[in-house]
Amino acid sequence: MTISLIKKTFGFVLLSMSTLQIQAQDIIAHQAASDKQMKDISTIKTHKILNNANLNNPATNVYSNWDNASVNSVAGVVPSNFKIDLRGFCMPTPSRVVTSKFGYRWHRQHQGLDIKVYVGDTIRAAFDGKIRVVKYDGNGYGHYVVIRHPNGLETLYGHMSRTLVNPDQIVKAGQVIGLGGNTGRSTGSHLHFETRLAGKAIDPTLLFDFPNQDIVSDYYIYRGEKIQKEARTSASALASVANDQNNLERALETAEKKASTNSRRNTSSRKVAQSKAKSYKVKKGDTLYSIAKKSGMSVKELCKKNGIKQTAKIKPGQTLKC
């Protein structure tokens, strides 16, 4: 009886401990952030959807070609208000440190984000997809990989020390595609990460939140912001050209006015000079010959102009026409 009682008691204790463990796990689960729980559920559903997606020919609704040649060897048209499904993602690296942002940098456009990683760090595919480009660019991306995804995006991973995938290979979100590095045009080990749609670069921070290791939202609606921005830039450039042309015309007009004023002044000066040159006041020692020589005429012309004879005597202070 005593042994049987001990067994029953021990079994009851084990059952109680197991129950407490389950209850504790339930409490911890309920204490987790609600958005985290939703994200987990959403991710599971998305993986099922993406598994059924055509990974052999991803995003045929956007792209009209498949080319392994380079990053920019793409052809296609983006529908208006294109909806990009970001669910089922995996952060390319657990690093939260962004060392360089998207935008104008060092007199040129920086088309992605630079994320701090170390040589040999694991780099993973952001979504399910198909490897389009695996190349080495010594003056640019170094060892890099481009993946096309069913959601329409193409993601680029640059400056890796080593690539671990091949062109036309199908990969899953989170699959290792390479190792962090410092190859190509790089000043330190980091991951250069780009998100593109039909060849147009989109700021990755609109999609991915690296500091919080999460996506910004489940979906991103592409409304052609870049195209609109380019159009605004072109309009601005045309306005600038027009403004420069107006400034040039005003400058030319001002220059013409100045030239006209200077011309009038010069004409007036010439007239005054000519007026002064027409008359000559005889000085002591002057002769008709010396005066004629100074005036660039003959003695005969000088005398004719003044109505005197060539034998006439002239006196100091006398005024002669020249």
Instruction: Read off the pLDDT of residues 217-226 as tens digits, 9 standing for 90 and up.
Output: 999 999 875 4
Highest mean pLDDT: which of 193-207, 244-258, 281-295? 193-207
Tell me the longest C-alpha to C-alpha distance in the chain.
175
| Interval 79-133: pLDDT, tens | 888 999 999 999 999 999 999 999 887 778 899 999 999 999 999 999 999 999 9
Final residue of a structural domain among 189, 204, 223: 223
Q: Is residue 152 part of a domain?
A: yes
Whether 214 and 312 share a structural domain: no
- The rounded percent of the chain whose pLDDT value lies above 90 is 48
Whether 195 and 302 share a structural domain: no
Whether 270 and 157 share a structural domain: no
pLDDT score of 26 more than 80: no
Whether 88 and 171 share a structural domain: yes
Q: Is residue 57 part of a domain?
A: no
What is the spatial distance between Cα 271 and Cα 6, in angstroms, rounded to a whole number?
Answer: 137
Whether 188 and 110 share a structural domain: yes
| CATH code of the domain containing 302 | 3.10.350.10
The pLDDT mean for the chain works out to 78
pLDDT score of 53 more than 80: no
Whether 104 and 218 share a structural domain: yes
Whether 89 and 175 share a structural domain: yes
Whether 124 and 229 share a structural domain: no
Whether 256 and 286 share a structural domain: no
Sorting pLDDT into bands at 50, 70 and 90, what band is 28?
Answer: very low
E strand map for the chain: 82-85, 98-100, 103-105, 108-110, 113-116, 122-124, 129-137, 142-148, 153-160, 162-163, 170-171, 176-179, 190-197, 200-202, 208-209, 214-215, 219-222, 279-281, 319-321
Phi-psi region of 199 (alpha: psi -120 to 50; beta: other; left: phi over 0): left
Q: For position 211, what pLDDT does the model report?
A: 97
16 vs 110, residue with greater confidence? 110
Sorting pLDDT into bands at 50, 70 and 90, what band is 31?
Answer: very low
Whether 204 and 96 share a structural domain: yes
Q: By mean pLDDT, which of 83-92, 160-169, 259-268, 269-278 is the weakest?
A: 269-278
Amino acid at 60: T
pLDDT score of 304 more than 60: yes
- Of residues 105, 128, 134, the one with CA closest to residue 47: 128
Total count of domains within the chain: 3
Q: Is residue 182 part of a domain?
A: yes
| CATH code of the domain containing 171 | 2.70.70.10
Whether 86 and 139 share a structural domain: yes
**Strand bridging mode 82-85 / 219-222:** antiparallel
Q: Is residue 17 part of a domain?
A: no
| H or E element, residue 172 | none
Q: Is residue 34 part of a domain?
A: no
Q: Is residue 74 part of a domain?
A: no
Q: State which residues form the domain around 105.
A: 82-223
pLDDT score of 24 more than 50: no
Q: Is residue 54 part of a domain?
A: no
- Three-state SS at 70: coil
Q: Is residue 29 part of a domain?
A: no
Whether 117 and 165 share a structural domain: yes
